[in-house]
Amino acid sequence: MKRVLITGAAGFVGRHFCKHFLDKKFEVIAIDNLQKFTGAIDPKKNWPLFNPYDYKNFKFIKMDCVEWFKKNKNKKFDYVLHLAAIVGGREMIENNPLAVAQDLTIDSKFWEWCVTSKPKKTLYFSSSASYPLALQTKKFYRLLKESDINFSNNLGVPDYTYGWSKLTGEFLANIAYKKHGIKSVCYRPFSGYGEDQDINYPFPNLCRNLILAEKKKIVQVWGDGKQMRDFIHIDDCVNGVISTMDKVNDASPINLSTGIYTSFIDFIKLGKKITGYNFDIITKKSKPVGVYARGGSTKKQLQLGFKAQIKISNGIERGLKYFSKKINYF
């Protein structure tokens, strides 16, 4: 039986990868310290979309991954998915940047462990926040290409400490490959979303507001709502990774994106059309909004044989259907 290690396994993205590898009969070793504000859910309480303990090939370890790396230096795995990170949405990134900077420690210890344990293949999850802010402004923006970050030339300034930490993680992946032969691929997800995502993220938050708009008759949006993101459904993220993970070994990056910009105002208008509710859109300019436009080129994904399939309108419809049954969750 093949073995996969997933750090940050109890978080939104981690849970979906656990499901995939469990269904594929891998032995899944899932590590998570269940820290608050990361979206992690204790598997003993059942994960929203499935119960991992229904699978005999699932093992959960509640532990800080840095401590686990120290105590397990010779464990062998076919794949390692490194998802562990301090996250929590835009407010966390902007209001508590030093806490987010802990990701630097997590990633440095992870790559040290990889050099010692030598997993057959490592999947490092970076972020679209690593891209230069200068390419995402109101005055100038375009779809971001993997080649926009060049460690031997010009990096640009990424998005706060979260962007810097992920950029550093990618740099360490390159060193681990060139100096130690650690095979890896670095993924740069854009605005991932899905039905079981933590409420601190835009998608579930907006779905909640759309559902409540039937009675409240208003939906609030941060900023002026014109800021744009590249929304990619978690199912597409998983499929994108699985279809490309064996095609890159040299720590090269791959976007996980659709190549389509959607503003938050347009998101709400799509929800309004789907629900048929009549409400006003209220802007909340006191809230942080991040960059003006962040979208990812899909050229490399297409070359590697992957194309996202779920349209944002279909994703919103799925989300509204899911959350309408769980309104007490909010």
Predicted local confidence at residue 285, as pLDDT: 80
pLDDT in tens, the chain (330 residues): 999 999 999 999 999 999 999 999 999 999 999 988 788 999 999 899 999 999 999 999 999 999 999 999 889 999 999 999 876 554 554 555 566 567 788 999 999 999 999 999 999 999 999 999 999 999 999 999 999 999 988 778 887 778 888 999 999 999 999 999 999 999 999 999 999 998 888 999 999 999 999 999 999 998 999 999 999 999 999 999 999 999 999 999 999 999 999 999 999 999 999 999 999 999 988 777 889 999 999 999 999 999 999 999 999 999 999 998 876 554
Contact between 184 and 176 under an 8 Å Cβ cutoff? The reply is: yes
Contact between 139 and 113 under an 8 Å Cβ cutoff? The reply is: no
- Cα separation, 202 vs 193, in Å, equals 8
Predicted local confidence at residue 180, as pLDDT: 98
Predicted local confidence at residue 209, as pLDDT: 93
Domains of the chain by range and CATH?
Answer: 3-192+232-256 (3.40.50.720), 195-229+261-293+310-329 (3.90.25.10)
First to last CA, the chain: 40
- The overall longest dimension of the chain from CA atoms, in Å, is 60
Contact between 190 and 294 under an 8 Å Cβ cutoff? The reply is: yes
Predicted local confidence at residue 101, as pLDDT: 63
- Tell me the two tokens of residue 99: 């806490």
Predicted local confidence at residue 95, as pLDDT: 57
Contact between 264 and 206 under an 8 Å Cβ cutoff? The reply is: yes
Q: Is residue 2 helix, strand or coil?
A: coil
pLDDT digits 0-9 by tens, 187-203 = 999 999 999 998 888 99
Predicted local confidence at residue 289, as pLDDT: 82
Contact between 132 and 145 under an 8 Å Cβ cutoff? The reply is: no
Long-range contacts of 153-157 (CB under 8 A, 24+ apart): 156/131, 156/132, 157/132, 157/133
- CB 114: neighbour CB atoms within 10 A? 24
Predicted local confidence at residue 156, as pLDDT: 84
By the 10 Å C-beta count (0-12 exposed, 13-18 middle, 19+ buried), 200 is classed as: middle
Predicted local confidence at residue 237, as pLDDT: 98
